[in-house]
Chain A
Amino acid sequence: MAETTSGKSIHLRIWRQKRGEQKGRFENYTVKNVLDEMSFLEVLDLLNEDLARQGQEPVEFDSDCREGICGTCGLVIKGVAHGPGSGCTTCEIRMRPFRDGETVTVEPFRAGPFPVIKDLVVDRTPFDRIQQAGGFVAANVGSAPDGNAVPIPKEDADKAMDAASCIGCGACVAACPNGSASLFVSAKIAQLARLPQGEPERKRRAWAMVNQMDAEGFGDCSNHGECEAVCPKAISIENIAVMRREYLKAFIGGSD
């Protein structure tokens, strides 16, 4: 690393865990020359370059697109999923609001169904299994219809689109005081429930997806609404109300 003194010094208190089954603990590191324009993940890259140079094990963390669209990254920074003042993914957090010399705690998303694989990487495959339980349209709907050939009210289309913007990052689970996956699951259910393509299977879908969510061991939603506050796509808890209506309808009307 170049011997310049520009930029800030950031003290990182990072969760290190060699393997899932082993006990983890916090380790302290200092990263120098942190520029305002850097993203949080770039600071971790700097740290890892340093660690690699010293022959130490780098800090493992997930990232892919680094432009807030893929849903791969996800850290709890300063006690908030995707970092304080969020509304974006971890990769989009910039270092401008961090003070010189500040100590920043970095933890993985914590939930029983999201076991730590290593350091800050957690296993989010329960989300895949929930999707596989019913988050799709099984009927053959043919090729893409002409625009406006299937009339869908503007509000429904907009709300389905809003729900569809969920990138499945899991921050809702991480932020929920109860470790509930309700925001994720409800976004998937509401997206399809609002569109004619999802109509035939809506009851079976709601019933299967909610039951799979519970089987994975996620907690129950107590309506704290922390999920919506940290969601990088600002998915509304209105969707959770939709999920509950759909589940109730499936229970009363039969899921098939």
Chain B
Amino acid sequence: MTSIATFAGSSVGKKVFVAVTGLMLFGFVVVHLLGNLTLLIPDGGKAFNEYAHFLESLLHGWLIIAFEVCLVAMFLVHAIFAITVALVDKQKARPQKYSLVRAAGGKSHKTLASRSMILTGPVILIFVVLHVKMFKFADHPLVTYHGTEMKDLYSVVVDAFKTPWIAIAYMVVMALLGTHLWHGVWSAFQSLGWNSDRHVTFLTRLSVVAGVVLGVGFLGLPPYVYFFAATGGH
């Protein structure tokens, strides 16, 4: 007899949970970056603010709340199962460590990215909490476009990224996010059994491209705002 408890506690099941939530969070990050690209439009933040306002007003604001609850759940499931895999079970499976470990090379996929998942992950999680506090729960000034009053999220973003240490901290964490995805994307497919010798090269390359594009995409926003955005232009 199979049971959900056995499945969730199994080595395969744990990674399935990590993979499914990881891919969903990856999807979220892609959409988030696409939305953030409205920052690049030189209109004093109008497109960015209107996009944020659009998201917050869907289904009278209920959709975004439902979405946020799901996101929190995904982050928690992802973190709990990943920590079990990479810390708890790992420690149990090898109580006595090697005195010397060298990379085997060859067909190995072990990289700095794969080995640092358990470090980049928690950094990103802490970042997300601070990020939400900094932008979502900020004291937003208001702005009016075509008679509609809305939060001026853009000015909060500009104020933040005009502060050099915040901009630099953001860039560092976004580089870590890119590193996380470098291993994470293809690994999720492998964890779901969605891989074969025929597809492994494609998937690992896709993963690297995803890591670099998203990492560089997000990382480029703070310097763009720092150098090109006007403060208090509206």
Contacts and interface: CB of A to CB of B under 8 A. Distances in A.
A229 B196 contact: no
Nearest to B194: A241
Interface stretch (B10-18, B42-50, B61-69): B10-18
A236 B106 CA distance: 12
B193 A225 contact: no
A178 B86 contact: yes
Contacts of A207: 2
A112 B93 contact: yes
B60 interface: no
A79 B100 contact: yes
A244 B110 CA distance: 20
B89 A226 contact: no
Given A229-B106, A238-B200, A244-B192, A220 B114 contact: no
Interface in B89-121: 89-90, 92-110, 114-115, 117
Contacts of B101: 79
B89 A80 contact: no
Interface residues of A, number: 58
B93 A178 contact: yes
A175 interface: yes
A234 B104 CA distance: 13
A182 B11 contact: yes
B100 A110 contact: no
A177 B110 contact: yes
Contacts of A180: 11, 93
Interface in A232-256: 234, 236-238, 240-248, 250-251, 254-256
B191 A244 contact: yes
B148 interface: no
Contacts of B95: 112
A81 B104 contact: yes
A78 B11 contact: no
Interface string A157-191: 00000000000000000010111101000000000
Interface of B: 1-2, 6-7, 9-16, 84-86, 89-90, 92-110, 114-115, 117, 183, 186-187, 190-197, 200
The 10 closest A-B pairs by CB, nearest first: A179-B93, A219-B93, A79-B102, A245-B193, A225-B109, A244-B193, A229-B104, A229-B108, A79-B100, A220-B11
Interface of A: 26, 76, 78-81, 84-87, 105, 107, 110-113, 175, 177-180, 182, 207, 210-211, 213-214, 217-226, 228-230, 234, 236-238, 240-248, 250-251, 254-256
